[in-house]
Amino acid sequence: MGLYDLIIAEITCPNTEKASTIGIQIKWTDCSQKNYKLGDNINFAKNMSSLWIQVYYCCSQCNTVSHPAYINIRKGRITEIISESEYQKRGLEDFLDAKELTQNL
Ligand SMILES: [Zn+2]
């Protein structure tokens, strides 16, 4: 109960445009209080060639409670973690909402 895993990532704040290291709380993995980073196998969506998941994180740069970020998982491995502006720049559209993932588990 109340457990989560963390994805540690460096991401640029949309307000200050400064990069900082953040911890994204996720509840759609096995929630054993592990820390994941780029390149790690996350034991999720192993059979999918590419999956984008939208998450929100607390920003230490501007103290905003929730900036969106997007995590790309390929065959169970974290391959990218990008900001919303980068996501839009690339014209990506399809993603899963992390909140829905949590509810479905
Ligand atoms: Zn910010």
- pLDDT tens readout for residues 10-37: 999 999 999 999 999 998 888 888 999 9
- Band (104; pLDDT cuts 50, 70, 90): low
- Band (101; pLDDT cuts 50, 70, 90): confident
Output the CA 19–ligand 1 centroid distance in Å. 9
Q: What are phi and psi of 86, to 5 degrees?
A: -65, -40
**Whose CA is closest to 38, among 9, 11, 65?**
9
Token pair, residue 53, equals: 């998941």
Output the CA 47–ligand 1 centroid distance in Å. 33
User: What gap in Å lies between CA 104 and CA 54, rounded to an integer?
Assistant: 15
* pTM confidence score: 0.89
Are 28 and 42 contacting, i.e. CB atoms less than 8 angstroms apart?
no
Q: What is the pLDDT of residue 1?
A: 52
Output the CA 59–ligand 1 centroid distance in Å. 5
Are 67 and 14 contacting, i.e. CB atoms less than 8 angstroms apart?
yes
Amino acid (1-letter code) at residue 32: S
